[in-house]
Amino acid sequence: MRIEVLKGDIKVTKKQPVAQIRNVKKKIGKKEIIHGISLDVYPGEVFGFLGPNGAGKTTMIRMLVGLMKKSEGEILIQGFDIEKEFEEAIRHIGGIIENPEMYKYLTGYDNLVHYARMHPDKISEERVKEVVTLVGLEERINEKVQGYSLGMRQRLGVAQALLHSPSLLILDEPTNGLDPAGIREIRQYIRHIAHTEGLAVFVSSHLLSEMQLMCDRIGIIKEGSLVSVETVDDFVNSKSNAVFRFEVDRAEEVYQYMRVFIKEYDFKLINDKLEVTCERVEIPLLIETIVKAGFLIYSVSNHETTLEEKFLEMTEGN
């Protein structure tokens, strides 16, 4: 299978999935909390996993890395079953959960070397230098970690997770606690690593505006069920969800008039502007109707739906 995702000027070509999740269910006692989730994560993409608190994100991540057993279904990492072939599967996974812990009184480089020596696979000094370059820490890697900013520590954590050359990088809240500059840095390096190294990145975060900028595809989980998997562009730019704003005189009167005479559309009055959800080709008819009714139109603009708006719509129903 060959799929292409366009994100800005980057084309991500994907073949066989790195991670395959097939009809996975999880029960706690008699209660099922994960309901038959199926999805794939491909090399060279950043896949965002979103959901409200308690939706099942953490449970799904724990099952993905083998820290929790599933009740039914199958999870394969590079073709290896995460439960039946754990040692083979886990060699292909790297990850950090929120803020990675480091030895503060060692340098960044010594932290990486220390971890490399403990790893069961032989990790060369050349590989250590490679990951330092990947995360952009060359100029500060020989300084003690206690002097690093939180963003630099996150990048060092990503470097550590990449040392053994995994196929899948799992990041849970990678921007947690960072200032705007640190958030931007992490986002840029995550996308760079995925798109230039062909790494599959599975990331969970509550910062939806950042996920929109960072991810190629998004999966949304609600109450233990996967309700949507789409590219970010398709998710926020689907024609069925185009919202147009009309700046008109006597906005309240226009709103009441359109609700009576054009009942097939969902009109809203927000901040003294008329909003309607429809396809672009229907806008001339709406303009004609408003003008013929004797109202003035000052402007018509397309309001681009954000990931946050779509997320709230799908998870809260409003």
The Cβ-side half-sphere exposure at 78, using a 13 Å CA radius, reads: 17
**Of the segments 1-5, 52-56, 126-130, 172-176, which one has the largest average pLDDT value?**
126-130
Please state, rounded to an integer, the average pLDDT across all residues of the chain. Answer: 87
C-alpha to C-alpha distances, 102 to 81, 110, 183, nearest whole angstrom? 31, 10, 20
Cβ–Cβ < 8 Å for 12, 167: no
Q: Residue 92 above 90 pLDDT?
A: yes
Q: What is the pLDDT of residue 19?
A: 97
pLDDT-based confidence at residue 132 (cuts at 50, 70, 90)? very high
pLDDT-based confidence at residue 8 (cuts at 50, 70, 90)? very low
Instruction: Give the Cα separation of 239 and 57 in Å (integer).
Output: 29
Q: What is the pLDDT of residue 237?
A: 67
7-21, 64-78, 142-156: least confidently modelled range: 7-21
Give the tens place of pLDDT for each residue, 296-312.
Answer: 999 988 776 677 777 77
Q: What is the pLDDT of residue 11?
A: 45
> What end-to-end distance do the CA atoms of the chain give, in Å?
36
Higher pLDDT, 187 or 77: 77
Mean pLDDT of all residues in 254-271 = 86
pLDDT-based confidence at residue 5 (cuts at 50, 70, 90)? very low
Q: What is the pLDDT of residue 240?
A: 55
Q: Residue 114 above 70 pLDDT?
A: yes
Fold classification of 3-235 (topology level) = Rossmann fold (3.40.50)
Helix (H, G, I), strand (E, B) or coil at 4: strand
Class of domain 239-316 as given by CATH: alpha beta
Q: What is the pLDDT of residue 318?
A: 45
Instruction: Give the Cα separation of 61 and 203 in Å (integer).
Output: 10
Question: What are the strands, taking DSSP E only, across the chain?
Answer: 3-7, 10-14, 19-28, 31-41, 46-50, 72-77, 80-81, 93-97, 168-172, 200-204, 217-222, 225-231, 243-248, 266-270, 273-277, 297-303
Angle (nearest 5°) at CA 219 between 215 and 221:
140
Cβ–Cβ < 8 Å for 145, 108: yes
Q: Residue 6 above 80 pLDDT?
A: no
Higher pLDDT, 82 or 264: 82
Identity of the amino acid at 134:
L
Q: Where does residue 207 fall: left (phi above 0), alpha (psi -120 to 50 degrees), or beta otherwise?
A: beta
What residue segments make up the domains of the chain, in order of their start?
3-235, 239-316
